[in-house]
Structure 1
């Protein structure tokens, strides 16, 4: 359930919506406002958007949750809208129109949306349950002391490796970047590549590189930090993976899908905890997990923590009902939060009390992953929107491709990124 999944479907703008009222699905509806809610007794109809999750059963689950909500609140109908393709682009465009959803999820949290008045503060939604959310879930949605979303799931992203393949090759699971480069090269054959980080050969590797060498992307006060000497050193080093031709490029699915790993195309892949059930089904216990390794002595291993956050349209006509829905589902319904985290791929519940009951995450490799996230987890800053991240990744792509002077490319990216962040912060 990664935030970066625009390739899941190209079947059009929306696959459609389902209207739920009085505890049942009444009818299908297109992307315009549904009809029929009044006949069910509902006084308000909420439009709730989800991106098209890749895990089987997720769409049916959110419909089931909506049905349970309308049964408890028959005066509020819910139109569940399932959005395939480039969800972020479609959401951003629709938020500027009268058809904007009342409730919607976002991947990496964006401070721009809060500062721009697009999403409502939800401090009143949390109530006394605020202390039950993990520190990352609270800090990641906090802007100027207010909470602008409720974290639904934490997605943990790390390196998977095939135990048997590495053992046969006499390779110890890498704990340093040098070790990762050497392992990827040694595991590359005429038929297979050693490592998959994304079809573009970039994926999360530039930000991982920065973090792994003790650097940062953006400071808490909004200063671009990825132009540091340690950042430049680590990003430039990624070129070694490309020069060795040990990276899988242009596979049929991207890094968030485990197919390249489960089909034996690569013995190492950057992917998420959500894929672990599918990997276990395909490979049994013949896999392990690792953080992105520390760049060198003094660096730190990296596990990426993303996820999805439920937000309320601050300009919507149904603000009170929208808040009621978010509070009911993502604050009050512990059993549904546990179901969403465990039953459709694996995810970590942001509420500590719910996470403590997540039995499927309490043993084996899943438990190990959760522990790695707690120890080495890094999340993108709230100012890391598409304009900033694309500037950074474009520079990194040129650096690893040998398309210019690395220091100049990174310095130019810092200037552009800082300009974008300054716009966000009104500076």
Structure 2
């Protein structure tokens, strides 16, 4: 997943540093950000390695040509982006277009650094409600996200066929299949239970699909989800080492044949597809009971227009954001990057070009924003969740006690 699906540690702390913002009223950029040549848009993102670096650069350049501007693009390492934004705000050199990991949008919007997209006439018609909710703060939309990703259940086709086991659709089926598929050095199931936001991200579909809620994790619904994971660890069908595994580690275990099934995302296609002899399928994460709706979080990045004080350039920046979110660009970028469009109506078009994306694309209407309930307070809840998971799996606590302690702590 690289950094998708994560929230950067310490973001809440660094955002406590006040932003020095330009005036957003009046004309021109007097007292505002120095934004440079009127015919050039400065773009800041964290796509600094291929294939994303080249793919997004091409898309941004093409949109720049379409709207009649030159592009001055800067890509920084993901962990440096927020600090870069703070520095640029302080020195009044904010870019004209800013890419943000979607869980960060509300916190940056809260600081006053972003322009409400409604003021710029941006059209978000057709984008999934959950995706829009992640970029909405106090009723205003501040960023638009063209593509997204989520997680699903990958399974080794050969292993399951040899065992005569169908991909599980319920929690009971998952536990039974994981037990039956555990043999020798191979675990039946793998997921990340690490004590970072990645661990929280992987646990959320189990918690949410069973009616759990991040506003209060000390509930029977969330305890039942955590009990499911604990049962598989205790039975030996899920490795105890999963408390130290990132999602990349889980993908490596699956690729090496050390796990018959795993929860993971489409960013791993590049890791899995070159493995000789590995044939895998992808289905939704099992629901608590037959026919239940699976609710998963979504990752990916959204594009925003900072407050620079230059209204003319802000409008051009909005045009660039709108272009990146055009239907044809959503489809092209999805197929090229192993993501899916945020507009559900485009799912079939993407799935026709890459069948492995179909399970992820089908989930888009039901995807939930991690910041949807708590907004900028989400990082605190995420920390409580992965802390409870760790305490239940390696700390010797019952799920109920682990969740209660984390919630009250």
TM-score, normalised via structure 1 length? 0.73
- Which residue in the other structure is 2:211 paired with? 214
Contact 2:136–2:142 (Cα < 8 Å) also in 1: yes
Contact 2:105–2:143 (Cα < 8 Å) also in 1: no
Alignment gaps of 5+ in structure 1 = 8-32, 218-223, 417-427
Deviations 1:253-296 (A, max 9, x none): 83258443333232212121343466455478932222222234
Q: CA deviation at 1:398?
A: 1.0
Distance in 2 between the 1:50 and 1:411 partners? 39
Q: CA deviation at 1:122?
A: 0.7
Distance in 1 between the 2:290 and 2:283 partners? 17
Contact 2:388–2:402 (Cα < 8 Å) also in 1: yes
Distance in 2 between the 1:246 and 1:203 partners? 20
Contact 2:194–2:244 (Cα < 8 Å) also in 1: no
Match for residue 350 of structure 1 among 328, 333, 342? 342
Structure-2 change in CA distance of 1:106 and 1:279 (3 Å): same
Aligned-pair RMSD on alpha carbons? Answer: 3.8
Q: CA deviation at 1:389?
A: 0.9
- After the TM superposition, which residues 193-342 of structure 1 pair with which residues of structure 2 at under 5 Å, given as runs? 193-198=187-192, 200=194, 202-217=199-214, 224-248=215-239, 249=241, 254-255=246-247, 258-276=251-269, 279-280=272-273, 282=275, 286-296=279-289, 300-314=293-307, 316-318=308-310, 320-331=312-323, 333-342=326-335
Contact 1:251–1:260 (Cα < 8 Å) also in 2: no
Distance in 1 between the 2:79 and 2:111 partners? 22
Distance in 1 between the 2:80 and 2:266 partners? 21
Matched, 1:159 2:153: yes
Deviations 1:90-138 (A, max 9, x none): 45754664365441222335433323323321114454x3323233333
Distance in 2 between the 1:244 and 1:94 partners? 50
- Which residue in the other structure is 1:107 paired with? 102
Contact 1:329–1:336 (Cα < 8 Å) also in 2: no
Structure-2 change in CA distance of 1:357 and 1:205 (3 Å): closer
Contact 2:67–2:316 (Cα < 8 Å) also in 1: no
Deviations 1:375-404 (A, max 9, x none): x53432332632331122112221222344
Contact 1:313–1:319 (Cα < 8 Å) also in 2: no
Structure-2 change in CA distance of 1:320 and 1:159 (3 Å): farther
Distance in 2 between the 1:305 and 1:336 partners? 19
Structure-2 change in CA distance of 1:125 and 1:265 (3 Å): farther
Q: CA deviation at 1:351?
A: 3.5
Distance in 2 between the 1:302 and 1:284 partners? 32
Structure-2 change in CA distance of 1:72 and 1:188 (3 Å): same
Distance in 2 between the 1:299 and 1:81 partners? 44
- Which residue in the other structure is 1:407 paired with? 400
Structure-2 change in CA distance of 1:299 and 1:319 (3 Å): same
SS of the equivalent of 1:247 reads coil
Contact 1:69–1:325 (Cα < 8 Å) also in 2: no
Matched, 1:139 2:133: yes
Distance in 1 between the 2:100 and 2:318 partners? 10
- Name which structure has the greater RCO, CA cutoff 8 Å, separation 6+: 2
- Which residue in the other structure is 1:20 paired with? none
Q: CA deviation at 1:239?
A: 1.4
Q: CA deviation at 1:165?
A: 0.5
Distance in 1 between the 2:237 and 2:100 partners? 36
How many residues align? The count is: 373
Deviations 1:325-380 (A, max 9, x none): 343244464433332111122x2222356x26734546644334422444x53432
Distance in 1 between the 2:63 and 2:312 partners? 15
Q: CA deviation at 1:155?
A: 1.0
TM-score, normalised via structure 2 length? 0.75
Deviations 1:19-38 (A, max 9, x none): xxxxxxxxxxxxxx99xx97
Distance in 2 between the 1:356 and 1:397 partners? 36
Match for residue 380 of structure 1 among 348, 356, 370? 370
Match for residue 116 of structure 2 among 121, 127, 130? 121
Which has the larger share of strand? 1
Distance in 1 between the 2:5 and 2:84 partners? 14
Distance in 2 between the 1:410 and 1:66 partners? 44
